[in-house]
A and B are shown apart, each in its own frame.
Chain A
Amino acid sequence: MASLLSLVEKHPAIWRGNQAPIGQSRRLATGYLSLDEVILGGFPEYGVVRISGRTGIGELSLLKNVFTQTSENAFYLFVNPPGVLITNSLRRVNVVPENVHVVSTSSELSLWAAEEAIKSASCSVLLLWCEHINAAQARRLQVAAVQHECLVVIFEPENQRSAALPVPLDLTITAIDQGLQVDIRKLQGGWPKQNIVVPVSFTPNNTTINSLMRKYSMHAEDDALHG
């Protein structure tokens, strides 16, 4: 019995609650310290990461720094993105548009396409948008991704969120005024944590103009008073 237990303890993915996990593979830092601290330095190099949240809250900008750490000719496959993917915007998130291909298909076939892409060993990063994924499907992708050294990010709408998945990292993101609020639902080798504030900003805004305008109009008022 004791020997069986020690067998279990030798497994690199199993650790005691009061110990730090060992044998962590390379992590791809997101560049946001508040998040990296909690997720053991960054995203796993290979494997499946689930991100639940709405479209257009900075979900790709959050991964911007992860993308820079892939190799120069890394091949990206976007499966079922929520709209027509625009070349010019990809440079903003440090993805070389020439290395990107898009697959658009039905949601049933998208999982098949994703698995094929991972198993082809040509794909370095696979981004998959899907409505629903179950544990068995996620497990298949996870095994293939680790074997073929591919980072798979699954984007799922928040309201469709399915049950826990056997993946190394599972996040929920919500837009807040300071950027994004990240809730870690599951982290292999670490503990879940809620309410991490990540200052993601990815669109230009009128703040500068507005503040200048305000300043300028105040001066104008001053001038009007004194003049």
Chain B
Amino acid sequence: MARQRWLCLHFFRLTLDNAKANGSVPDQQPAVAYHQASNNVLQVNSCARKVGIEVGMGLAHAAALCENLTVIDYAEEIEHSQLRLLAASLYQCAAEISLQPPCRLFIRIDNLVRYYGDYQQIWLAIKNTLHHREVNFVFACGWSPENAEALAKRGQSSFLLCDKKIENILAALPVQALSIADKHANALQRAGIRHAGELLKLPPTELGKRFDSELLKYLFALRGESQPQRLFYHPPANFSHSVLLTYEVEDATRLQRYLDQCLRDMELFLRLRNAGSQAINITLYFREAPEMPISVRKSDVRFSFSEWQQLIKLKLETLELPAPVTHFEFSSEKPRSYAADTADFFNSRKHLFARQLLFGRLAARLGEDAISVPHTLQDHRFTSGVESESDNTQDNLEEFTPTYLLKHPQPLTDSPKIEFGPVRIESGWWDGNKEKRDYFIGRNQHGQRIQIFRENGNWFLNGWYA
């Protein structure tokens, strides 16, 4: 049976890459990811490396080397969340992806050859996907995830397909570079076994007498002779992501750019599922206050980046933070498929463009003024010409509102029978168009329902009911 091929991707600077992508680390500035519990610098960007900071240093040491150092807190769960996002985008070009939190993932590539033609194409597809996400990584190829991992841990990228070459590199790896327990590594060291090559040459029965089965399993996997069971990545039903802010945010509007990035990821997530979501839930976590859930809702299911952005912006503008935000979680409500009303979805979209096109054509020939929306009466006056500042809508007079109004009331010439009324409107004293009118619904000899009014003893025709 042919050996499997696995690709290991090791994202060695995920926290820093993420910080750079959302703009919290300025370009060309030294930055490190620092793990507080172990007082270790875990990730270093190239600028920081230039001034001499290295992985494994303490914070005091690193700070002493550079005065304008940006320090970002390292959190495993945040990196894991980031890794899941990467897996979600890689899932578009590869099916069997296995995650090794916090920063490694494995992709089985031998069975992809059927779809891509050759390994070159597979690699291009994976590389392009990752290129968009702007992450730094080391990659290596092997017979099993364990094998590929060991190769990737060297810190050098290689995409080797020749068994002989992989064997050579593997044989030269020091025992410490393998993923085996320290106590076993020390025992092997004492026995004079320094390189993986020597270890792999030992007969398994002999090793089995001295070491536990875990190590044996690992060695078999390293040789590609057995494949331990792995859990493959399965895309989640809902979009969710948690973001650790690089510095505490006191002004809610500053969250916008972090949220924008989440929205972009959500857009991809939803587009791939041909679905939309009507609500986004954001939970803000504060330094010294209980968390605050926020929900933003949109009326239609269709995803629109700009609409969501606007809605979130409006929400943030009115939000008062009780304390500085340290991190937040972003999740979408259960995606709703467009499928149920696909026709409507496409129809309305088509109609929207068609409508704009129509307005353009009509305006071009008839003039801009020719197209209008129905007139909304702003206050209780039934006078079409008056523009009012008042918000007083006519809900209580809906029944009495005529369908069409005359632009200017005309003197009444016939003598209609009054069917309803009077409705006295005395208004407009504030804007100089003072009115005191008694309105009636009249029915004239042709059966037309008309709105008439009496002012200063004269009768006028004001509109029609239809």
Task: Using CB atoms and an 8 Å cutoff, list the residues of chain A in contact with chain B.
Answer: 54-61, 71, 73, 75, 78, 81-93, 97, 100-105, 109, 112-113, 116-117, 120-123, 174-176, 202-206
- Would A87 and B375 be within 8 Å (CB), given that A55-B448, A121-B354 are in contact? yes
The answer to whether the Cβ of B463 comes within 8 Å of any Cβ in the partner chain is yes
Given contacts A55-B464, A75-B351, A203-B465, 18 further A-B contacts (CB under 8 A): A55-B448, A56-B448, A56-B449, A56-B466, A57-B447, A83-B405, A86-B375, A86-B402, A90-B374, A103-B362, A104-B370, A120-B357, A121-B351, A121-B354, A122-B357, A176-B447, A202-B466, A205-B420
Does any Cβ of A come within 8 Å of B207's Cβ? no
B354 and A122 within 8 A (CB): yes
Interface majority SS (helix, strand, loop, mixed), chain B: mixed
Residue from B359, B365, B441, B466 within 8 A of A204 (CB atoms): B441
Asked if B419 CB lies within 8 Å of chain A CBs, one says: yes
CA–CA, A59 and B404, complex, Å: 12
A82 CB contacts on chain B under 8 angstroms: 404, 464
Please, which residues of chain B bring their CB within 8 A of the CB of A204? 399-400, 420, 441
Q: Does chain A have a CB within 8 A of B225?
A: no
The A-contacting residues of B in range 367-400, CB under 8 angstroms, are: 369-377, 384, 393-395, 397-400
The closest CB in chain B to the CB of A71 belongs to B344
Bound state CA distance, A71 and B403, in angstroms? 22
Q: Which residue of the partner chain B has the closest CB to A110? A: B366
Q: Does B407 lie at the interface of the complex (its beta carbon under 8 Å from any beta carbon of A)?
A: yes
- Across-interface contacts of B395 in A (CB, < 8 A): 88
**What chain A residues lie within 8 Å of B421 (beta carbons)?**
206
Residue positions of B touching A, CB distance < 8 A: 344, 348, 350-352, 354-355, 357-359, 361-362, 365-366, 369-377, 384, 393-395, 397-407, 418-421, 441, 443, 446-450, 463-466
In the complex the two chains form, what is the Cα distance from A175 to B448 in whole Å? 7
Cβ contacts under 8 Å, B371 to chain A: 101-103
**A113 contacts across to B, CB distance below 8 A:** 362, 366, 370
A61 and B466 within 8 A (CB): yes
The 5 closest A-B pairs by CB, nearest first: A175-B447, A83-B404, A56-B464, A122-B354, A120-B358
How many angstroms from the CA of A79 to the CA of B361 in the assembled complex?
15
In the complex, what's the smallest C-beta–C-beta distance from B465 to chain A, in angstroms? 5
Q: Are A87's CB and B376's CB within 8 A?
A: yes
* Contact A116–B358 (Cβ < 8 Å): yes
A-B contact pairs, 15 of them (CB 8 A): A54-B446, A86-B377, A88-B393, A88-B401, A93-B466, A97-B374, A102-B373, A113-B362, A116-B358, A120-B355, A122-B350, A203-B419, A204-B399, A204-B420, A205-B420
**With the chains together, A54 CA to B446 CA distance in Å?**
8
Q: Complex formed: what's the CA distance from A88 to B420 in Å?
A: 18
In the complex, which residue of chain A has the Cβ closest to the Cβ of B344?
Answer: A71
Tell whether, in the assembled complex, residue B358 and residue A84 are in contact, meaning their CB atoms are under 8 Å apart: no
Contacts of B374 in A (CB 8 A): 78, 85-87, 90, 97, 100, 102
Partner of A105 from B370, B399, B466 at Cβ < 8 Å:
B370
With the chains together, A92 CA to B44 CA distance in Å? 68
Query: Is A84's CB under 8 angstroms from B407's CB?
Result: yes
Q: Which residue of A73, A88, A123 has the most chain B CB atoms within 10 A of its CB atom? A: A88
- Cβ contact within 8 Å between A89 and B372: no
Most central of A100, A120, A205 by chain B CB within 10 Å: A120
CB A201 to nearest CB in B, in angstroms, measures: 10
A197 to B370 alpha-carbon distance, docked (Å): 37
Chain B minimum-CB-distance residue to A119: B358
Give the residue name and chain of the B residue nearest to A124 (CB): B351
B373: A residues at CB distance < 8 A: 87, 97, 100-102
Q: How far is A59 from B284 in the complex, measured between Cα atoms in Å?
A: 56
The residue that A58 contacts in the complex, of B352, B397, B404, B449, with Cβ under 8 A, is: B449
Select B384's contact among A84, A176, A205, A206, beta carbons within 8 Å: A84
Contact A92 B365 (CB under 8 A): no
Q: How far is the CB of B425 from chain A (nearest CB, A)?
A: 14
B441 A123 Cβ-Cβ under 8 A? no
Are B446 and A73 touching (Cβ within 8 A)? no
Q: Is the Cβ of B365 less than 8 Å from the Cβ of A112?
A: yes
Interface pair B354/A85, CB less than 8 Å apart: no
Partner of B397, one of A73, A88, A91: A88
Task: Report Cα–Cα, A193/B352, bound state, in Å.
Answer: 41
- Distance between Cα atoms of A211 and B375 in the complex (Å): 36
Q: How far is the CB of A211 from chain B (nearest CB, A)?
A: 14
A56-B465, A105-B370 given; A86·B405 CB < 8 A: yes
Q: How far is the CA of A175 from the CA of B406 in the complex (A)?
A: 21
Q: Which residues of A contact B420 (CB under 8 A)?
A: 203-206
Look across to chain B and name the residue whose beta carbon is closest to the beta carbon of A83. B404
A30 CB, min distance to chain B CBs, angstroms: 15
**How distant is the Cα of A116 from the Cα of B393 in the complex, in angstroms?**
34
Tell me how far the C-beta of B323 lies from the nearest C-beta in chain A, rounded to whole angstroms. Answer: 41
| Bound-state Cα–Cα, A206 to B421, Å | 7
Q: Is the CB of A88 within 8 A of B465?
A: no
Residue from A71, A90, A175, A176 whose CB has the most chain B CB atoms within 10 Å? A175
Known: A55-B404, A85-B374, A176-B447. A60 touches B366 (CB 8 A): no
Which residue of B is nearest A63, CB measured? B466
B357 to chain A: closest CB distance in Å?
6
User: Residue among B361, B448, B465 with the most chain A CB within 10 A?
Assistant: B465
Which of A59, A89, A205 is the one whose CB lies under 8 Å from B402?
A89
Known contacts A56-B464, A102-B374; is-contact A91 B362 (Cβ 8 Å): no
| Chain A residues with CB below 8 A from B370, complex form | 103-105, 113
Taking CB atoms, residues of chain A closer than 8 Å to B447 are: 54, 57, 174-176
Give chain B nearest CB distance to A120 CB in angstroms.
Answer: 4
A92 touches B399 (CB 8 A): yes
B373, B401, B402, B403: residue with the most chain A Cβ atoms closer than 10 Å: B403
Q: Are A85 and B403 in contact (CB under 8 A)?
A: yes
Are B466 and A84 closer than 8 Å at their CB atoms?
Answer: no
Q: Which chain A residues lie closer than 8 Å to B466 at the CB level?
A: 55-61, 93, 202
B207 to chain A, nearest CB (A): 72
| Bound form: Cα–Cα A57–B370 in Å | 26
A56 / chain B contacts, CB cutoff of 8 Å: 403-404, 448-450, 464-466
- B264 to chain A: closest CB distance in Å? 28
User: What is the minimal beta-carbon distance from B178 to any residue of chain A, in angstroms?
Assistant: 63
User: Contact between A101 and B394 (Cβ–Cβ < 8 Å)?
Assistant: no
